[in-house]
Amino acid sequence: GKTEQVDQSSHKDVPMKNAVMMLNEMFPPPTAPQYRVTSMTGTPNNPTFSMTCILLDQTFSGTGRSKKEAKLDASQKALQEMFGKDFSEGGGTKESGNTSNPRSLSEIDSWLELEGKNPVSILNELYPGVIFQLVSAEGPSHAPQFCVRATLASLSYEGRGISKKEAKLHASKALLVHIHRVGFDPMTGNMKSGGEGQPDTVRADGHSWADKVGGLVREQFNRLFDGTTYSKRKVMAGVVLDHAGITTVICLSSGTKCVNGEQLCLGGSSLNDCHAEVIARRCLVAWLYNQLELAILGRTSVLQRDQEGGFRLLHGVS
């Protein structure tokens, strides 16, 4: 392939170590190297993998008896061709992966066969230097809430969950979504790529928006109830308005209770269902009626008259 000398200002100096680690440290996201399995040849008990390393619009190929060896070989060639030096002794020995249960070539995709793996495993495999840190542990013993931060170079994302493991999982998802625009199956939580092994940007956009909504709702809840007895109530629901890129929490609720059957009120004078999502929906309906009244009076509102009758949301409002 064509060899080009790299601008010394485009990377940072790092100590000698494993070639894969050196590339990841020299070129942090968003210019981090991307690896892709291109083929697998040989017999099932003695396969040979071919892999490419894409870095700064250049492609470098490597081979090995395992994907790990092929990835290391491609990284070494990238360093050698870009910097004119042999880094093959910069980081330990090659290790053969487990080939006792190899997969056929048709099953190998361009995402290092990562589809279906746990997001934490994916992140550690792609970026061994990722750092996880416990930020907070809140709530009562029977309903704890943990927050874990995943940091890679200058990028940092947080995840929350009822256990440290779940919080770490969500932080890993958020970081992968930001770097690679990947999506995750809503049922299993595993990574899903597009039809040809490419990042699922549609699902990734949905995850990014969902994470943003969740963060806004939590921040608003803490802002309103921090320091009160209500701050321990962590079952929340909310509605977020986006107007031309400006987001606002318009509804926020918390609750898990329902009125017992013998105490149900059929006259409408009390709330029978006080689950957070039900309360949030009732708040949204009340807010929309208020916006409708403002629109009728000609005041500032997110609603406008529709030419076909009735009212509709302004353009750019969601």
Whose CA is closest to 197, among 105, 98, 99, 97?
A: 105
Instruction: Judge whether residue 74 has pLDDT over 80.
Output: yes
* Mean predicted confidence (pLDDT) in 235-259: 84
Give the lowest-confidence range in 32-41, 203-212, 215-224.
203-212
Report the pLDDT value the prediction gives residue 189, as an integer from 0 to 100.
52
| Tokens describing residue 107 | 């099953």
Whose CA is closest to 216, among 230, 243, 237?
A: 237
* Mean predicted confidence (pLDDT) in 245-253: 86
Angstrom distance (rounded) from CA 131 to CA 127: 10
What percentage of the chain exceeds 90 in pLDDT? Answer: 6
Residue 89's alpha-carbon distances to 5, 24, 246, 297, in angstroms, are 21, 17, 52, 76
184-201 pLDDT per residue, tens = 555 455 555 554 444 445
Angstrom distance (rounded) from CA 193 to CA 42: 27
pTM for this prediction: 0.44
| Tokens describing residue 36 | 């892709």
Residue 293's alpha-carbon distances to 81, 188, 287, in angstroms, are 68, 44, 10
Provide the Cα torsion 65, 68, 72, 78; round to 10°: 100
Where in the chain does DSSP place strands (E)? 34-43, 46-55, 58-64, 131-138, 145-152, 155-161, 183-184, 191-192, 236-243, 246-254, 256-258, 273-275, 303-305, 311-313
Give the lowest-confidence range in 41-45, 90-94, 167-171.
90-94
What angle is formed at CA 227 by the lines to CA 238 and CA 140, rounded to 5 degrees?
Answer: 80
Instruction: Judge whether residue 303 has pLDDT over 80.
Output: yes
Whose CA is closest to 123, among 85, 185, 171, 88?
A: 171
